[in-house]
Amino acid sequence: MNIKQMIDQSNWGCDIQGRDAARRGVTRRGFMKGGALALVGTSVIPAFLTRSVMAEVTTAAANKKKLVVLFQRGAADGLNIVVPYKEKNYYAMRPSIAIQQKDVLDLDGFFGLHPSMASFKPLYDQGHLAIIHAAGSPDTTRSHFDAQDYMESGTPGMKATQDGWLNRALQQEPAVAGAGKPSAFRAVALGTQVPRTLQGKLPAIAVNNLADFSVGGKGPQTSPISNAFQAMYDSSTDAVLHGTGQETFEAVKMLKAADPAHYQPAAGVMYPNTPFGNSLKQVAQLLKANLGVEAAFSDIGGWDTHQNQGNVNGQLANRLKEFSETIAAFWKDMGADAENLTLVTMSEFGRTARQNGTGGTDHGHANVMFVLGGGVKGGKVYGKWPGLANEQLNEGRDLAVTTDFRRILGEAAYKTLGSKNLDIVFPGSQVHPETFLNFV
């Protein structure tokens, strides 16, 4: 089989489509343009791998600190996730979907977890898990698209922002002189493209499936396609092509060395067999492989419960079970490395305090965020509770925001990554160390 046939069979698009590759011919430079991206299958290797722009290693890397950010897309119902079971109006407003007091997993005598989140209770009791209720964006949009964009950019109400808050946070890390170079995998997202959160000047990689990585070399696992690519790069007399190609291969080899197809979680750890479960299992693999990851991002959809939301059972309960069990498995899988980890969850907004006519909830305002980590002062529900009396509701319908989400993300970035200039990370937010909730 020749190279063109192998590319055709692999459905590699880029510059070379199967039906016209023979017509146009294949050049080494053509492979370089299309092959560097196609080489990693469903993963995205950014342009920085072709130009070796590296600064000195950062404080977070030197201290082995890692920040994991998870986005619950669709607007999760914070009131049924961390239930204010002592609020009488909660039950009046949700006659069929409320979580009854006898079913909640009590946290502090006022709040309780949804019973499907039993795997979170030990993390809370052990002091690893902190909860921030009534958190959210000061912007009142009820648009999924706009709200997600504002939270990922870190600039509520501003649509012109070009980069994401986490990318800016990584840029604000102080460097450690003489400590070497940062990894090509410093910022990683699980998915087919770099998310809004990680877009910006600092390079980030998107990885959809680690097992799809194929690189050159010897051995039974080697792909003939990648062998052909590497042979072509190695024999090239084009200095530019040879350099960029070799850097790409070296970066992919770093990841392949972790043997992603045969990764085994720690003893006793079972991730849910779902896309989100597989995503966090791969995050754990990346972090444990010592590839120099400082920030990782993943997301989980399915939170837009307009109809048939359910209560202790049903649509939301099923999603919460998967969500909490996946995170708990990830925490256990990380083992001793969990001490250097901070994980933060977020969703674009909450749901209405009152259920609607179809047994669901509509787009709301404030929500709940979780922070998990070795340095987290957990076992506590943080934030100012605004109440659920009718006169206390935002616009007469939603839980009001009392903690700006940027205060939570800012504290996580400041204390985990060492991002000191929060005015750049969250412009106009007035987030400074004196405004922190001190959950880390």
What domains sit in the chain, N to C, each tagged with a CATH number?
A: 41-222+257-435 (3.40.720)
Residue 258 confidence (pLDDT): 65
Per-position pLDDT tens, the chain of length 440: 433 343 333 333 333 333 333 333 333 333 333 322 223 333 444 443 333 333 445 777 777 899 999 999 999 999 999 999 999 999 999 999 999 999 999 999 999 999 999 999 999 999 999 999 999 999 999 999 999 999 999 999 999 999 999 999 999 988 766 555 667 789 999 988 999 999 999 988 888 888 765 433 333 344 454 555 455 445 545 443 333 344 445 556 666 666 777 789 999 999 999 999 999 999 999 999 888 899 999 999 999 999 999 999 999 999 999 999 999 999 999 999 999 999 999 999 999 999 999 999 999 999 999 999 999 999 999 999 999 999 999 999 999 999 999 999 999 999 999 999 999 999 999 999 999 999 99
Q: Which two tokens stand for residue 24?
A: 């146009």
Residue 109 confidence (pLDDT): 98
Distance CA 413, CA 420 (A): 8
Residue 61 confidence (pLDDT): 73
Residue 262 confidence (pLDDT): 78
Nearest to 414 by CA among 129, 152, 149, 170: 170
Strand ranges, E, within 105-237 = 105-106, 111-113, 129-136, 187-190, 205-207
| CA angle 47–52–53, rounded 5-degree value | 85
| 373 SS3 class | strand
Distance CA 220, CA 210 (A): 18
Q: Which residue has the tokens 């504290």?
A: 411
Neighbours of 234 (CB within 10 A): 12
Is the pTM value of this prediction over 0.85? no
**Burial class of residue 341 (count of CB atoms within 10 Å of its CB; 0-12, 13-18, 19+):** buried
| 182 SS3 class | coil
Spatial contact of 135 and 403, defined as CB atoms under 8 Å apart: yes
Nearest to 400 by CA among 138, 177, 158: 138
Residue 206 confidence (pLDDT): 87
Going 235 to 238 to 241 to 246, the CA torsion angle's sign is: positive
**Burial class of residue 63 (count of CB atoms within 10 Å of its CB; 0-12, 13-18, 19+):** middle
Residue 24 confidence (pLDDT): 34
| 411 SS3 class | helix
Nearest to 377 by CA among 336, 433, 420, 437: 437
Spatial contact of 355 and 96, defined as CB atoms under 8 Å apart: yes
Distance CA 407, CA 430 (A): 9
Q: What are phi and psi of 282, to 5 degrees?
A: -70, -35
**Burial class of residue 276 (count of CB atoms within 10 Å of its CB; 0-12, 13-18, 19+):** buried
Neighbours of 421 (CB within 10 A): 13
Strand 380-382, strand 129-136: pairing: parallel
Distance CA 164, CA 201 (A): 10
